[in-house]
DNA sequence: TGACAGGGGGTGT
DNA sequence: ACACCCCCTGTC
């Protein structure tokens, strides 16, 4: 357990540096569910055994402060674990896809996070027919009630610092208690998945290391994990940028911007992989960010 | 202030 | 197609 004091602020050398909008979209745009805004330019996030604060300095450069100096290296992996974001972006077909180019220009430096595999699975098991705010509440309750503390509480700072429960820990939690964490019908899925994983030591780690298709086949065998959830876990929790999760937002945006009206999710997924290539998941994140921004815009400006 | 629908980043049958 | 849970949000 770390000492209960924040380190000094240090630069987080991300290239290109994300602005406030892109940073918010990256950590709080549906990839991760454990970042909380603490101020206009200040965030606090949890992943694995890490707790970090993030902010932009006066020049817009990202800085971090944590409870353990080791969190610096973990942050770099968290943000840059999939490789150089500039090279990745250049590998997308923006030259021949005007809409994609527009999305990328709107969110320069948007990244796919490299999160811990197991807790990404937990997050997306909670995501079915839920919005981000509600998923975040579920995660917060699971961590507060069933996760171990990773740091002493900082003085003059009453916020708890719990990591999420491991799958082994979740396997020991009665389903009724899971329902108490706002999980609803997802509690049964999580309980079932926890029992499955707890009974097979090494299964999750092996799955993470498998090639995309084999890893996905194993994930969809878990209760509550279908195509969409499996692709989210592989994309956001295993760096498999070829994964192309198709949810209702992507279904809508692909229908509206790519003429895929009436296409089924599996067809859209096939189109996405063929059209966007091996980095289709990154393209998906740009499209998703664009649609989210559109939805927030006043409808009068949207009809243009 | 408070009740009341409506609908929500899917999955399983 | 529809049930599955139940909380959030917008509305009266």
Where is A260: in which H helix or E strand? none
Both A56 and A153 in one domain: the answer is: no
Both A220 and A132 in one domain: the answer is: yes
* Per-residue pLDDT, A302: 46
Both A122 and A195 in one domain: the answer is: yes
Q: Do residues A273 and A242 lie in contact, with contact meaning Cβ atoms separated by under 8 Å?
A: yes
The closest nt to A246, taking CA to C1', is: B9
* Per-residue pLDDT, A40: 87
* Per-residue pLDDT, A107: 96
Residue A203 CA to C6 C1' — how many Å?
32
Domain that holds residue A261: 248-298
A226 touches strand B (CB under 7 A): yes
pLDDT tens sequence across A60-91:
999 999 999 999 999 999 999 999 999 999 99
The closest nt to A128, taking CA to C1', is: B10
User: Is position A275 within any domain?
Assistant: yes
Both A216 and A288 in one domain: the answer is: no
* Per-residue pLDDT, A153: 66
Both A204 and A294 in one domain: the answer is: no
Both A196 and A176 in one domain: the answer is: yes
* Per-residue pLDDT, A295: 85
Both A182 and A220 in one domain: the answer is: yes
Task: For chain A, list residues with pLDDT below 50.
Answer: 300-304
CATH number at residue A229: 1.10.340.30
CATH number at residue A16: 3.30.310
User: Is position A147 within any domain?
Assistant: yes
Last residue within a domain, chosen from A216, A238, A260: A238
* Per-residue pLDDT, A3: 60
Last residue within a domain, chosen from A58, A82, A106: A82
Q: Which residues touch strand C (CB under 7 A)?
A: A 129, 133-134, 137, 179, 182, 184-185, 188
Question: Within 7 A of a protein CB, which nucleotides of strand B?
Answer: 8-12
- Residue whose C-alpha is closest to residue A171's, from A142, A196, A144: A196
Both A253 and A232 in one domain: the answer is: no
User: Is position A99 within any domain?
Assistant: no
Q: What is the DSSP letter of A145?
A: H
User: Is position A154 within any domain?
Assistant: yes
Both A252 and A222 in one domain: the answer is: no
User: Is position A153 within any domain?
Assistant: yes
Both A21 and A75 in one domain: the answer is: yes
Q: How far apart are the first and last CA of chain A?
A: 54
User: Is position A157 within any domain?
Assistant: yes
Residue A108 CA to B6 C1' — how many Å?
36
Tokens of A100: 């994609």
In order, the DSSP letters of A275-303 are HHGGGHHHHHHHHHHHHHHHHHS-HHHHT
Tokens of A132: 């981000």
Q: Do residues A45 and A34 lie in contact, with contact meaning Cβ atoms separated by under 8 Å?
A: yes
Residue A81 CA to B3 C1' — how many Å?
49
CATH number at residue A260: 1.10.1670.10
Both A219 and A269 in one domain: the answer is: no
Tell me the whole-structure pTM to 2 decimals: 0.96
A187 touches strand B (CB under 7 A): no
Q: What is the DSSP letter of A120?
A: H
Both A234 and A262 in one domain: the answer is: no
Last residue within a domain, chosen from A24, A59, A82: A82
Please give the protein residue whose CA is closest to the C1' of the nucleotide C4.
Answer: A185
- Residue whose C-alpha is closest to residue A123's, from A147, A134, A146, A139: A139
Can you tell me the distance from the alpha carbon of A104 to that of A67, in angstroms, rounded to the nearest whole number?
34
User: Is position A136 within any domain?
Assistant: yes
* Per-residue pLDDT, A161: 83
Q: Do residues A188 and A223 lie in contact, with contact meaning Cβ atoms separated by under 8 Å?
A: yes
User: Is position A193 within any domain?
Assistant: yes
- Residue whose C-alpha is closest to residue A234's, from A113, A133, A103, A129: A113
Strand order in A10-11's β-sheet? A10-11, A62-66, A50-56, A42-47, A35-39
Q: How many structural domains are present in chain A? A: 3
Dihedral sign computed on CA atoms, order A183, A185, A187, A190: negative
pLDDT tens sequence across A151-164:
766 655 656 689 99
* Per-residue pLDDT, A299: 55
Can you tell me the distance from the alpha carbon of A104 to that of A288, in angstroms, rounded to the nearest whole number?
11
Residue A70 CA to C5 C1' — how many Å?
40
Cβ partners under 8 Å of residue A99, min gap 6: A257, A258, A287
């Amino acid at each position: 357990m770390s000492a209960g004091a924040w380190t000094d602020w240090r630069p987080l050398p991300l290239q290109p540096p994300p602005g406030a909008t892109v940073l918010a979209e990256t950590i709080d745009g549906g990839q991760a569910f454990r970042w909380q805004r603490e101020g206009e330019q200040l965030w606090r996030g949890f992943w694995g055994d890490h707790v970090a604060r993030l902010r932009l300095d006066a020049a817009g450069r990202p800085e971090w402060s944590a409870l353990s100096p080791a969190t610096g290296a973990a942050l770099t992996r968290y943000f840059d674990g999939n490789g150089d974001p500039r090279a990745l972006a250049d590998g997308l077909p923006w030259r021949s896809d005007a809409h994609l180019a527009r999305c990328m220009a709107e969110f320069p430096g948007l990244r796919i996070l490299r999160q811990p595999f197991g807790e990404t699975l937990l997050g997306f098991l909670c995501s079915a027919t839920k919005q981000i705010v509600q998923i975040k509440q579920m995660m917060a309750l699971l961590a507060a009630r069933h996760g171990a503390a990773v740091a002493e509480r900082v003085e003059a700072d009453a916020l708890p610092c719990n990591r999420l429960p491991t799958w082994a820990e979740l396997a020991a939690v009665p389903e009724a208690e899971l329902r108490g964490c706002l999980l609803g019908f997802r509690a049964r899925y999580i309980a079932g998945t926890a029992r499955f994983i707890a009974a097979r030591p090494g299964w999750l780690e092996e799955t993470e290391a498998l090639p995309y298709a084999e890893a996905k086949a194993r994930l969809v065998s878990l209760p509550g994990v279908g195509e969409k959830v499996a692709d989210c876990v592989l994309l956001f929790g295993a760096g498999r940028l070829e994964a192309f999760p198709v949810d209702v937002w992507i279904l809508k945006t692909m229908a509206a911007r790519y003429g895929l009206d009436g296409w089924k999710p599996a067809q859209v997924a096939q189109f996405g992989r063929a059209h966007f290539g091996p980095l289709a998941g990154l393209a998906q994140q740009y499209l998703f960010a664009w649609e989210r921004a559109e939805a927030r815009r006043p409808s009068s400006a949207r009809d243009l």
